[in-house]
Amino acid sequence: MKEEDLIKKLESARLPEAELQTHQRLLKTALLEKYESASNKTATAAKRRRIPIMDTIKEFNRNKWLRPALATLSVVAIVAMLFVMQPWTGNNGYTTLLAKVEAAAKNVESYRMEMLWTADEIVDGKTYETYMNFTYEFVSDEITHLIVDYGTVSYYNGVGTYSEGSFENYYIGEDMYSLVDRNKARSFLFQQVGFYYIYIQSGQQHAIAVLDFMNDIVQLEDEVIDGVNCLHYIGTPKLYEDIIDMKWEIWLGEDDYLTRQIKVDHETYITTTRYYDYNVDISVDMPVDSDGNLKEGWEVEPIQSSEDSHLQTSIVFVPVDEALAALTGDEDWDDVSVVEEILMAMLTSTDWIVYFNALPEEGQQAVHDYVKDSYERSLSTTTKELSNTIGFDRTNNVIHYSNSATGKDVYINAGEITGENSTGLMDNETLAAHWVSTFTANDPQYCFDNFPVETREEMISMFYDFNVAAHELLINELYGGWEYYGKPAN
């Protein structure tokens, strides 16, 4: 068959126009019924997603090569943490109840906790069901055990990639023992869950703080959680009031006042934390044998240093009691710089909810107002930074470079070059230079297509293999560095 004949066949073989009138009508009705709730949810999600400072946080949580930028992390950026790393547990105005809960917690010697965080994340029209599942065993003051399973979308300059994995840690005395499924993902994993695991270490103290952190608390009907009759409360977290729509719920054992479950229900994600097996004898399979030797696959190192190697951040997390001790009581809450300083201290303490609860009412209001103002300002400054990207569309094998500062918007279709045949021998400088010359060429596609096939394989493999060093060189050259992306909109 000749090509011309094939084209004629194609042109004439078109299907007759088909439509399903009933389906069209029913679908429209269903869509419009869903419109109100869906569009509201979307608007909130869009706002969250389009906040540059939030992207900053996401980036530094997820990309180790942003580490240097953290040293200059601004308060504005750190405020954004409040919107991406929701507490997995967290006190109300019920003084008597609070006293009972605090008293109960003092008798806790061991317990288990399971936290499930779920959210739908939409990337390029595709919805990913992301999750983080923390299983935590508080064996004793000296031994804790954490297993994390996750399925999450990691972002690289606006392009999301879904991945699943897990890791396991023991915290024994001053040491942390790690078993990670993939060594190369280790740093990444800690970044993903790093802030949560900081909270996990504050355990029961943090759980108690939930009650005092909620306004408009209402007692709902008692419920049974894990076979235990529970008092059930719902309230609005103080700091988020009038900012984002969110409810927190807590279930307390009716007889023992121990925390049994905490649920954070936000429009875009849900976090459910169960506490169980209080004061039972928890046996664990220790990462060291009876002779004190490390078992196969395990690594050990000090739990935290001031420069936490696992979080891959320069943030120093200060024990919340120490952070609170720095308060003088004479703070001028009308002075924005004071509020910023307090916020920084709060969010870099080991439990910001405990810290917030301890602030005077005037201070809580000032912090709330600052956060609200930052959030609203950030909503109005969005698209410019997001339009500066180097993205990789894996489905179509297309590289997209956009630079709003220069007005460049380039798509490179890699065609059948997949990078699978890459030798991996090309150095990062050369790789980055080839991409720079491609993106800045008068005809970028022509430029790319004219590299030898071996070179193109190398160039594409850089995106498939997530070559961080080469990306960093490229970003530095094209945008003047990572901070360009993360620069908070002041």
Partner 1 sequence: MELEQEKELVFKAKTDAYAFGLLYDEYYKKIFGYVLHRTANVEVTKDIVSEVFLKALQNIGHFEWRGIPFSAWLYRIAEHEISNGYKRNKHIIFLKQDAENSEILSDISIEDEIACAEAEIQKQEEFLLLHKCIVKLPHIYQEVIVLKYFEKKLISEICAILGKREGTVKSLLNRGIKKLKKLMDENATF
Give kind and range of the element (H or E) at residue 448: helix 444-449
Distance CA 434, CA 451 (A): 9
- Tokens, residue 466: 């997530």
CB of 244 to partner 1, least distance (A): 15
Q: How many CA atoms lie within 13 A of 232 on its CB side?
A: 10
Q: Which of 254, 290, 383, 442 binds partner 1 (CB under 8 A)?
A: 383
Instruction: Name which of 320, 219, 211 is nearest 259 in CA terms.
Output: 211
Q: Which of 127, 290, 306, 423 binds partner 1 (CB under 8 A)?
A: 127
Q: Give the contacts of 247 (CB within 8 A, at least 6 positions apart).
A: 234, 235, 236, 264, 265
Distance CA 193, CA 130 (A): 13
CB of 486 to partner 1, least distance (A): 21
CB of 67 to partner 1, least distance (A): 30
Q: In terms of CB distance, is 79 or 412 closer to partner 1?
A: 412
| 378 burial type by CB count under 10 A (0-12 exposed, 13-18 middle, 19+ buried) | buried
Q: In terms of CB distance, is 260 or 266 closer to partner 1?
A: 266
420 near partner 1 (CB under 8 A): no
43 near partner 1 (CB under 8 A): yes
425 near partner 1 (CB under 8 A): no
CB of 268 to partner 1, least distance (A): 12
* Residues 400-419 close enough to bind partner 1 by CB under 8 A: 400, 411, 413, 415
Q: In terms of CB distance, is 32 or 71 closer to partner 1?
A: 32
Only segment of 14-22, 318-326, 345-353, 431-439 that touches partner 1 (CB under 8 A): 14-22
DSSP-assigned states of every residue in 169-193: EEEETTEEEEEES-GGGHHHHHHHH
Give kind and range of the element (H or E) at residue 57: helix 52-62
Q: Which of 234, 243, 398, 489 binds partner 1 (CB under 8 A)?
A: 398
Distance CA 213, CA 115 (A): 19
Q: Cα 3 to the chain's mean position, in Å?
A: 52
Asked if residues 238 and 213 have their Cβ atoms less than 8 Å apart, the reply is yes
Q: In terms of CB distance, is 26 or 284 closer to partner 1?
A: 26
Distance CA 346, CA 358 (A): 10
20 near partner 1 (CB under 8 A): yes
Instruction: Name which of 34, 36, 40 is nearest 266 in CA terms.
Output: 40
* Residues 430-459 close enough to bind partner 1 by CB under 8 A: 445-446
| Binding residue count for partner 1, defined by CB under 8 A | 56
Only segment of 339-347, 367-375, 390-398, 469-477 that touches partner 1 (CB under 8 A): 390-398
Only segment of 36-44, 319-327, 336-344, 460-468 that touches partner 1 (CB under 8 A): 36-44
Only segment of 40-48, 91-99, 309-317, 428-436 that touches partner 1 (CB under 8 A): 40-48
Please give the C-alpha separations between residue 168 and each of 179, 275, 297, in angstroms, as whole numbers.
5, 19, 11
Only segment of 123-131, 219-227, 419-427, 432-440 that touches partner 1 (CB under 8 A): 123-131
Residues engaged in binding partner 1 (CB under 8 A): 1, 3, 6-7, 9-36, 38-39, 41-43, 45-46, 49, 122, 124-127, 383, 395-398, 400, 411, 413, 415, 445-446
